[in-house]
Chain A
Amino acid sequence: MMKLTLRNFAYSLVGIIALGALWWIASATFARDLPSPGKTWEESKVYVLQPLEKRGEMDQGIGRMAYYSLTRVAKGFLLAILIGTPLGFLLGSSNTFFRMFDPTIQVLRPISPLAWLPLGLVIFRQSEPAALFTIALCSMWPTVINTMSGVRAMPEDYRNVAKVLQLSRWKTLTKVSIPATIPYIFTGYRLSLGLAWLVIVACEMLTGTPGIGGFLWQEYNSLIYSHILMCILTIGVVGFTLDRLMGIVETRLRVV
Chain B
Amino acid sequence: MSFIELKDLTMNYGTRSVLAGVHLSVDEGEFVSVVGSSASGKSTLLKIAAGLMEATRGSVTMAGEPVKEFSRKAAFVFQNYSLLPWFSALENVRLAVEGAFPDWPKKRQTDQAARYLQMVGLGAALAKRPGQLSGGMRQRVAIARAFAVEPGILFLDEPFGALDALTRSTLQQELALLCTAVERPVTALMITNSVDEAILLSDRILALSRGPGATLSPSIAVPLAKPRSANLLMHDEGAARIRVRLAEFLIGASGGNSRTRQRGDQAMGKTVPVEA
Contact = CB atoms under 8 A, between A and B. Distances in A.
A163 B70 contact: yes
Interface of B: 47, 50, 52, 69-70, 72, 74-76, 78, 80, 82, 84-87, 95-96, 99-100, 129
A158 B87 CA distance: 13
B86 A256 contact: yes
Contacts of A179: 84, 86
A188 B178 CA distance: 46
* Listed residue (A163, A164, A165, A175) with the most chain B CB atoms within 10 angstroms of its CB: A164
B76 A160 contact: yes
| Chain A interface SS verdict (over half) | helix
A57 interface: no
Given A167-B95, A167-B99, A175-B95, A157 B84 contact: no
B84 A175 contact: yes
* Listed residue (A166, A167, A176) with the most chain B CB atoms within 10 angstroms of its CB: A166
Contacts of A161: 78, 82, 84
Interface of A: 157-158, 160-161, 163-167, 175-176, 179, 256
15 contacts: A157-B78, A157-B80, A158-B82, A160-B47, A161-B84, A163-B69, A164-B50, A164-B52, A164-B76, A166-B99, A166-B100, A167-B95, A175-B87, A256-B85, A256-B86
Q: What are the nearest 10 A-B pairs in CB distance? A: A166-B99, A179-B86, A165-B99, A164-B76, A157-B82, A163-B70, A165-B96, A161-B82, A160-B52, A165-B95
Nearest to B74: A164
A175 B96 CA distance: 12
B14 to A, nearest CB: 15
Given A164-B50, A165-B99, 4 more contacts: A160-B47, A165-B95, A166-B100, A179-B84
A175 B129 CA distance: 15
Contacts of A165: 95-96, 99
A143 to B, nearest CB: 21
A163 B96 CA distance: 10
A241 B199 CA distance: 63
Contacts of A175: 84, 87, 95
* Listed residue (B47, B52, B85, B100) with the most chain A CB atoms within 10 angstroms of its CB: B52
B80 A164 contact: no
B45 to A, nearest CB: 15
A160 B82 contact: yes
Contacts of B85: 256
B75 A164 contact: yes
Contacts of B78: 157, 160-161
B70 A164 contact: yes
* Listed residue (B50, B70, B129) with the most chain A CB atoms within 10 angstroms of its CB: B70
